[in-house]
Structure 1
């Protein structure tokens, strides 16, 4: 069951939450039930951001919604970097009622399953792997930048849900009901056999989010002398015209105390915009244990192999379609 703060009170209140989507208008209706009271908000997916606050703090299962700024890299409101979340925080972007958020909405969860299902309902991506306490993340940002090290981070692998369509906004999103029992996901989306699903590596560190697509552009390895470290760098196979850098989308600006978040329409975050992402030379993720490193490396490899298999299937289906052959029919 989620809890939410309202008004000027800093206390969490037990509640039930329901999310509805109007596909014709591109808006969500958020219904929060607190005892005998109900709070209802209409928000636009193109004007709202989801901030996984849990990614920046260990043992703080909180997600909040805020009004979005301009563009894909819109910053958060000027929030104090304090683990104690206050309900009096306001969004830096005012808006008309019913179209966007004038006040940030905070939700605290009793378990990770509820929290991740809540996030999936908005973002259309499932969390396939999650490591909460990374020892350090090292990287070089750009070709003229020095090495940066961040201690204490969180990393995840996101995979598009079966209902998520290419280009951001889905026309077949799942509905979500959270009422203290197991979340119920409902969807009537058709199977998408003609699209390669791109797994996303998400790194939370120092108030920013780094999003990297797991593709053939990347290679990863665990050095023999540092068996708790996973290295990610560009592929050296120039045959496929791979980029010479790791392309990553960066959200947030810790120097200005602006926390990274995701726009609900994921404008600018899709793989079709990957060429516009920032350039990194490499990443090194140091885990707490060898077992964590090995397990996450296996998940990373599985995501890469699945993408390759799906790409081959899609390419074959496109060839058949070009010859006028329907999917499932044999070709002699």
Structure 2
């Protein structure tokens, strides 16, 4: 059978995913949606020529719920991949404005106003029309999913972060097997990873923190033997948007497994079941279940991920989804504007984003 897949948001990650998804044998139509009409139309034309499948672009503001609902009704995708954000997660790192420097110091929590609005709208549209397709979210799923879970709006699962760490560990194991003379990929052991977005930079840089309690947890084989040191065994990678290549590679198996009539998949992914951080999971018949080893229970795993959330600058998420920042993050946000440090309700994120951008738009 052939299926139809929708990608919302055509930034760097959305483009990379689209290019790879267009090669899926089971996809006969790829739908692209975003705000940049001229780029979107020509990019769709390029992908259609490269992949020899039907690729169409639709103009869409992912913050307009009625428009999202209409697109879903009209196109009926079998899978939705949500990549839209108000700015790239790399924007603040690349921006030279002095306010951007303060926001970077405040932690990734400072970016939540840019990441939350599109996925909130998309999930509101999905729930409003009871749309059956799974939703894979690429916008800070380690935090946006537990926030949206409080509103019964959690996406199916995310990609990136813990999945990237799992792929690096697997690459290290493969390299070690080659050195030992056994380089058959299928012979490598099962790798399961428990990790949070807050740990990704150190993991990609191969810099192990002095506080090992804040490290990702790696479980090898069915027995779950710990091998956390493998996270830092590879060469350092550049911390820039080129890492989206690894997000893409580690996310593609998840997208394939969520299409109809696919075999089960065991992998690690962020934000499953509306949980904070990232976990080992199974995808069976398009449904997600956790795949924790027997050496760690769910309560401990969730507590571990909430503790790691604080390293991003998040102190708590209330029962209505309101986000409270840590004291250190609040202190830095107050340097820009005291209101930026106040608790953030999910549906107030766009207003908070506009206020933040007003400072980034001033002459430095």
TM-score norm. by structure 1 comes to 0.29
Structure 1 or 2: more helix by fraction: 2
Structure 1 or 2: more strand by fraction: 1
TM-score norm. by structure 2 comes to 0.27
